[in-house]
Amino acid sequence: MDGQRRDRLERMIAERAAGSEWPPALCTVCVQVLPGVDAAALVLRGDARAQEMVSASDGWAAVIEELQYTLGEGPAVEAWRGGGPVLVGDVSAEQGRWPGFADAAAEEGLAAMFAFPLQVGGIRLGTLDLYRRRPGGLSAEAVTDAALLADLATLALLENELAADEDKLRMEVSYQDVHMATGVLAAKLRISLEDAFARLRAHAFAERRSVLEVSRDVLDQRISLDRLAD
């Protein structure tokens, strides 16, 4: 049964894309086959900082994804840490669990979210994140399909590692600017990379901006570093 569904999902992705074009196709298939799901994003995660968005079905998904990165919390962060799917039918009811994310996500129009870890044995590579504008859970069938899609994404990401450089995936959003700004800040303020990253995040949170925007300001010297000193 799962084998047939898996084949069907794999065919759907293959029909929409060839070779390294599969990530956007996979996100599109998520939205098409999973009832109620409005958007999807595929994210590679090494640790709390090392993160790259492989693809997203639309700009809204990318915004929610970035929100989690800025805040360092949310269903995807938890799915990646804990290793199991995190299914949240009503994000606004989770203020206790994710105080920053619950409010900010609701403001962006997110009502429900489902995050599935990309998992190989005990190692987790990232997450497949699904978003809904209306509250409500996923059906059991949809959970199975989503888990199968997460598995297909995992295997495709691993194959990508074997591809020649020019055939490798281009990440849709990489946080390279954040990492470079972290380095600049650490050097200028003579603090550790960890502290520098924490300050970028805290500043972004306080200003209600994304950590990527703040980082670009740091790199382009549009922001006085004194404002990040504490």
Binding site for another protein (CB under 8 A): 44, 46-47, 49-50, 52, 120-121, 123, 125, 157-162, 174, 176, 179-188, 193, 219
What's the min distance (Å) between Cβ of 221 and another protein? 10
Q: Which is nearer to another protein, 106 or 186 (CB)?
A: 186
Q: Which is nearer to another protein, 45 or 132 (CB)?
A: 45
Contact 67, 212 (CB under 8 A): no
Q: Which is nearer to another protein, 9 or 118 (CB)?
A: 118
Rg (CA), the chain: 18
What's the min distance (Å) between Cβ of 78 and another protein? 19
What's the min distance (Å) between Cβ of 224 and another protein? 14
What distance in Å separates the CA atoms of residue 209 and residue 119, rounded to the nearest whole number?
Answer: 31
What's the min distance (Å) between Cβ of 3 and another protein? 18
Cα 1 to Cα 7, 35, 140, 152, 168, distances in angstroms: 10, 19, 14, 16, 32
Q: Tokens at residue 94, please?
A: 């989770």
Q: Which is nearer to another protein, 15 or 194 (CB)?
A: 194
Q: What distance lies between CA 55 and its chain's CA centroid?
A: 9
Q: Which is nearer to another protein, 91 or 169 (CB)?
A: 169
Cα 171 to Cα 14, 117, 148, 184, distances in angstroms: 19, 18, 22, 23
What's the min distance (Å) between Cβ of 184 and another protein? 4
